[in-house]
Structure 1
Amino acid sequence: MSNMRQVNVRTNEFFGDELIPLSFPDGWKVNLVEMACKDAPPMDDEEIRSALENSEGASSIKEQARGKKGRIVVTCDDLSRPTPAYRVFPFIVEQLHEAGISDSQIFVLGSFGCHHPMNLDAYARKLGERAVAKYDCVNHNPFQNFKNLGRTSAGTPVIVNQEFASADLRICISGVKKHVWAGAGGGGKAVIPGVSSIDSILYNHSVIEGHRPVNRRIWWIDENPERRDMQEYARMADLNASVNCVYDVNRALIGLHAGDVDDAWKEAVKECYKAHDSKTAPKSDVAVVNAYPQADQDIDWWGAQESLREGGTAVAVHHFTMGSALLHYRGEQMGAPWRRIQGQHRNRWPVEQAENAIVFTNRLSKRHMLAYSDRVSWMTEWDSVLQRLVEIHGEEASVAVYPSGKLQFDSAKNPLSI
């Protein structure tokens, strides 16, 4: 195997975002499936300023901030989301300063629902070292410190973080990507689950239809009960500015829509839908899916499920310093750790038509392994993965590579309903 073809994929979001090489025999046909935005340039400073100043559906942050004497809250999501908030936050602060707001009025609130809290290092990776040096970064607590603002039309109790509710101005930074039951990220999702009580979150996630949503799909916005409830909830919580980021395969900011929680967010959704669109590869002997840029939340096997031939080999690249996380405080109700401890493993086979499945990881985790069938192979060296692939498929085969599986989708199979 002296002659090799090489594909580089990015890994380890927020902890280096480094490229790693994946080599294949020269006789293999390699199909790199890229997103439509692969050649889109990152936004420069002036473009970010312009996006914030030209607010959509609402007055700009600067205009809304003028004359405010109280606290100004800016929320951000945690490291489980790829959002490049560090690119946007300084320009939000710039607008606040131009409106006469002092640094002492500004604080950051982590908008992560019932995920585990962020530490100083996590805030620095999300917002930048300067941000944590200058502004108080506060964790949302889903169990206490709330203000009750009534109920949505679907019955969800609007029980919101007290510091968020009592601020003079509320600004939420979000990222937009596909989401399996909320349709897409961003918008009202920054408020619920973002800065809401566990009771509100569980009602929205599980009670509106009497159960956890089972018939959802990505990019279904219109008439989606949970998403509709989120948007109404955010309005009731008086979200002043929804700042929605669109990013590329490298987590670089390529689109920004700020303003009204519906108008600005929907424009961001439309842009993201076009940007992340990826034409499905033909049926291949091998399909490689990369968990970047959201490896925190396991692996999206969609590319392999779509592109792998019957009896082929599915390979996932999962390189992330923090590993696949158990994010939720109430994980035993929304996940399955206690069932695992009791020996009730999920035994998941990730790609139905695959004869073999391999996870190429930088660190082995028994907890992660127990989420899958014992038939899945776990390897820490690409040479070992390659050797196994050649043993199975020989020196001539086809491989489809999805470099950003957590973002990618095919619009021909996943229509946008907004």
Structure 2
Amino acid sequence: MRNILTLPYGGCEVSVELRDVSIREVKPRFGYALSNDEVRRIIINGVRNQLSGIVKSGTRIAIAVPDSTRPTPSSLIASTVIRELENLGVWSRDITILIATGMHSPESRDSIIKILGEEVVDRVKVINNDPYDKSSLTELGATSLGTTIQVNKMFAEADVKIIAGTIGPCMLVGWSGGGKTVMPGISSRQSIHENHKLFVRNVRKARRGAMFGLIEGNIVRQDIDDYAQRVGVDLIVNVIQDHKGNILGVYVGDVIKTFYEAQAFAKNVLSSSEPIEGKVDIVVASPGVFSHEVSLYQSGSRMLAAVEDLVKDGGSIILASSCYKGIYEGTEVDEFKKFFTKYEDAEEVLDLTERDVIPSFESCIGYQFLWMTRHFNVSVVSNNLSSSELKTFKMKHFINVEDALNDALKIHGKSSAILALPYASITYTLKK
């Protein structure tokens, strides 16, 4: 018996020939891909319907878009929105685009051009959000759950506030999109910590490592919704994409109502084509989206969360990701690495997070990694990480999938039940 397993990796694909083992693949349903012209028409109609009569010459517009770690078609969205705003009388000099970096490193000009396109960058003002720069932030009270609202001042003071984003399963908030471009995207370090700290209550109540695809009762998501409403977001443009970046759906409208309509559509098209019964011995997973391969922090958290409910306790998880920016793409990379030399107990991490000893944007992933490696054998296939680096995280390192799989088969046997998720970061696996 011979099988060929093909996984996205590093912007291309790798194939593994498997002998004497059987692997079941789990993929999303996906569906009809919209053309760029169809996408533009939906955005134009949405902007016109929502903002006609509100914007005019002299209206100050702020548009927040995700950074390069999020696979959003920001160039298409921004250019279309700007053109329609100009048709409604807005001057391009009154439009500012904010790169929603959250706690990630600021984007270079070259990177911003890749995100937005040269035409947009040359046409309007574009700035990175800086979560540390208090002079660029303003405080607007607090959410009902107590999160301090410290948001980018230029965005807060704009007459009309627009955010773009992509909706997909998320290990922290259940599903990304909606107000997530504001929190954490254009907020302060303090506000991000206070919001993300709520994950402790989520995982303790659910008794799990992450909240992938779980949005009902998710208080981190609830806090983000409240935060975005209080900031005064006027319009969202959210898309749902497949692994190739094809746009499956576009939603333009209210930051709450429209988001949840879009999320319901996303859940349908990104759910597995068939439900999975029970749990398996081994799961092989790739993010499936190149930008999600940026680091172990991003790809590891997404893939581990995606397969948490699919693997038996004591089973093996093989993560195939190039991790092209190494362990962590954020500004506090050294602190994140040191985290795993300081802490070994997942429950201790939750306690220390609640007491503000550990920043929550480190501990939410740190806790997840500790929880997962306590329950599963985790191996990482990457040519940009080393065995010594991964040993710190209690993970094994391999250069190719075949060697990692053979190692797992030595543990569980040739008759092991195996699943493969080629697009794990955007696959919501249904369970029987």
Q: Give the 3-state SS of the residue equivalent to 1:116 in structure 2.
A: coil
In structure 2, how many angstroms separate the alpha carbons of the residues matched to 1:236 and 1:64? 23
1:289 aligns to 2:285 (yes or no): yes
Identify if the C-alpha distance between structure 1 residues 281 and 97 changes in structure 2 by more than 3 Å, giving closer, same or farther: farther
Q: Which amino acid in the other structure matches residue 241 of structure 1?
A: L
The answer for the alignment partner of 2:152 in structure 1 is: 161
The answer for the alignment partner of 2:299 in structure 1 is: 298
In structure 1, how many angstroms separate the alpha carbons of the residues matched to 2:392 and 2:166? 27
Q: Which deviates further from its counterpart, 289-298 or 215-224?
A: 215-224
Please point out which of 76, 80, 84 is paired with 1:91.
80
Q: What is the CA distance between 1:220 and its match in structure 2?
A: 4.2
Q: What is the CA distance between 1:286 and its match in structure 2?
A: 3.5
In structure 1, how many angstroms separate the alpha carbons of the residues matched to 2:32 and 2:62? 30
In structure 2, how many angstroms separate the alpha carbons of the residues matched to 1:330 and 1:234? 28
Identify if the C-alpha distance between structure 1 residues 105 and 232 changes in structure 2 by more than 3 Å, giving closer, same or farther: same
Please point out which of 378, 396, 404 is paired with 2:397.
378
The answer for the alignment partner of 1:362 in structure 2 is: 383
Question: Aligned runs of 1:215-294 on 2, under 5 Å?
Answer: 215=205, 217-278=211-272, 279-280=275-276, 283-284=279-280, 286-293=282-289, 294=292
Q: Give the 3-state SS of the residue equivalent to 2:205 in structure 1.
A: coil
Question: Aligned runs of 1:5-404 on 2, under 5 Å?
Answer: 5-12=3-10, 17-25=11-19, 27-37=20-30, 40-55=31-46, 60=49, 63=52, 66-143=55-132, 144=134, 145-206=136-197, 214-215=204-205, 217-278=211-272, 279-280=275-276, 283-284=279-280, 286-293=282-289, 294-295=292-293, 296=295, 297-299=298-300, 300-302=303-305, 304-308=307-311, 313-327=316-330, 329=332, 332=335, 336-340=336-340, 348=370, 350=372, 357-365=378-386, 368-373=389-394, 376-382=395-401, 384-385=403-404, 388=407, 399-404=418-423
Identify if the C-alpha distance between structure 1 residues 7 and 125 changes in structure 2 by more than 3 Å, giving closer, same or farther: farther
- Equivalent pairs, count: 395
In structure 1, how many angstroms separate the alpha carbons of the residues matched to 2:200 and 2:322? 37
The answer (yes or no) to whether the contact 2:327–2:385 under 8 Å persists in 1 is no
Task: Identify, as 1 or 2, the structure richer in helix.
Answer: 2
Q: Give the 3-state SS of the residue equivalent to 1:215 in structure 2.
A: helix
Identify if the C-alpha distance between structure 1 residues 209 and 402 changes in structure 2 by more than 3 Å, giving closer, same or farther: closer
In structure 1, how many angstroms separate the alpha carbons of the residues matched to 2:330 and 2:388? 13
Q: What is the CA distance between 1:365 and its match in structure 2?
A: 4.0
The answer for the alignment partner of 1:416 in structure 2 is: none
Percent identity of equivalent pairs: 22
In structure 1, how many angstroms separate the alpha carbons of the residues matched to 2:389 and 2:418? 25
Q: Which deviates further from its counterpart, 237-246 or 94-103?
A: 94-103
In structure 2, how many angstroms separate the alpha carbons of the residues matched to 1:340 and 1:395? 33
In structure 2, how many angstroms separate the alpha carbons of the residues matched to 1:79 and 1:392? 38
In structure 1, how many angstroms separate the alpha carbons of the residues matched to 2:200 and 2:373? 30
The answer (yes or no) to whether the contact 2:64–2:97 under 8 Å persists in 1 is yes
Q: What is the CA distance between 1:193 and its match in structure 2?
A: 1.8
Q: What is the CA distance between 1:36 and its match in structure 2?
A: 1.7
Unaligned runs of 5+ in 2: 346-365
In structure 2, how many angstroms separate the alpha carbons of the residues matched to 1:180 and 1:393? 27
The answer (yes or no) to whether the contact 1:288–1:314 under 8 Å persists in 2 is yes
In structure 2, how many angstroms separate the alpha carbons of the residues matched to 1:368 and 1:65? 53
Over the residues paired in the alignment, what is the CA RMSD in angstroms? 3.4
Identify if the C-alpha distance between structure 1 residues 127 and 20 changes in structure 2 by more than 3 Å, giving closer, same or farther: farther
In structure 2, how many angstroms separate the alpha carbons of the residues matched to 1:385 and 1:197? 40
Q: Give the 3-state SS of the residue equivalent to 1:256 in structure 2.
A: strand
Q: Give the 3-state SS of the residue equivalent to 1:194 in structure 2.
A: coil
The answer (yes or no) to whether the contact 1:73–1:169 under 8 Å persists in 2 is yes
Identify if the C-alpha distance between structure 1 residues 210 and 183 changes in structure 2 by more than 3 Å, giving closer, same or farther: closer
Q: Which amino acid in the other structure matches residue 173 of structure 1?
A: A
Deviations 1:338-371 (A, max 9, x none): 34456969894846675x5432112124685145
Q: What is the CA distance between 1:66 and its match in structure 2?
A: 3.5
TM-score when normalising by structure 2: 0.79
The answer (yes or no) to whether the contact 1:298–1:324 under 8 Å persists in 2 is no
In structure 2, how many angstroms separate the alpha carbons of the residues matched to 1:285 and 1:404? 19
Q: What is the CA distance between 1:23 and its match in structure 2?
A: 2.6
The answer (yes or no) to whether the contact 1:59–1:259 under 8 Å persists in 2 is no
Q: Which amino acid in the other structure matches residue 377 of structure 1?
A: K
Q: Give the 3-state SS of the residue equivalent to 1:164 in structure 2.
A: helix
Identify if the C-alpha distance between structure 1 residues 321 and 150 changes in structure 2 by more than 3 Å, giving closer, same or farther: same
Q: What is the CA distance between 1:189 and its match in structure 2?
A: 1.8
Unaligned runs of 5+ in 1: 414-418
Q: Which amino acid in the other structure matches residue 364 of structure 1?
A: L
Q: Which amino acid in the other structure matches residue 400 of structure 1?
A: L
Q: Which amino acid in the other structure matches residue 397 of structure 2?
A: W
Q: Give the 3-state SS of the residue equivalent to 1:406 in structure 2.
A: helix
